[in-house]
Structure 1
C-alpha cells in the first residue's frame, strides 16, 4: 500500500482516507499542519487507487480491513480516522466493525449509514 506519512512515530496516529476518484494527494494541505500539531499522519492510497495495488475485491469490508491492518502494521492499536466521500464510507465501516481501533471519527461529505438508508427509502 502506498502511503504519505509524516510526523513522529511516537505521536498519536491520524489516518486520512481519500474520496473517489482521489488519492492521498487530496490531503496534501492537511498533512504537515497535523504533523506539526503532534500527530503521526498517514494518508494511504486505498486499494485500487494511484500507486496501491489494483487487486480486487474493492468492497467496503475488505478496504476497511486493509486500513485496520495498516494501523496495526504501523505499530499502533488505535487511530483517529478521518474520511472524505468514499473514505468516509470506509471510516464508518472501520468504526462499526472495529470500534476498539477508532479513538475519534471524522467523516466529511457522507451521512451515517443508517441515515443514508433511511433517506433512500423515502
Structure 2
C-alpha cells in the first residue's frame, strides 16, 4: 500500500499538484496535510488528520465510478472523517474558492475522538 501511495505521488494530476502547493508546509490555517495517504484499505488524495478532513480531487473517471466512491466515502465517514470532493477543473480554475471551502470545513469540523483501538490509520499507533 505504501509503494502504491508513493507511485501515486509521482503521478499527481495538475490539479493535485496545484492544490498541494497551497496545502503543504502548513500554509492553510497552520494545519498539516498529507498527500496520497493510506487509510486502511484506501489511499486518499489529501488528509488533515488533526481535523479528520479528507480531500479528493476527481477526474472524469469518477463520473463512471460513482458507486465505488460512495462506498469508499461511507466507510471513511463511519471512521470519523469528513470527505470533500472537488473536480480537477474546479481546482484548476478556482483555486481560491476551493481553498476557502477546505478552510471553512477544517475550521468547522472539530477533531473527533480517535476510533476504537485497532481502528483508524494502520501503523499509526501499531507495534511492528
If the length of structure 1 is used for normalisation, what is the TM-score? 0.31
Higher helix proportion (structure 1 or 2): 2
If the length of structure 2 is used for normalisation, what is the TM-score? 0.30
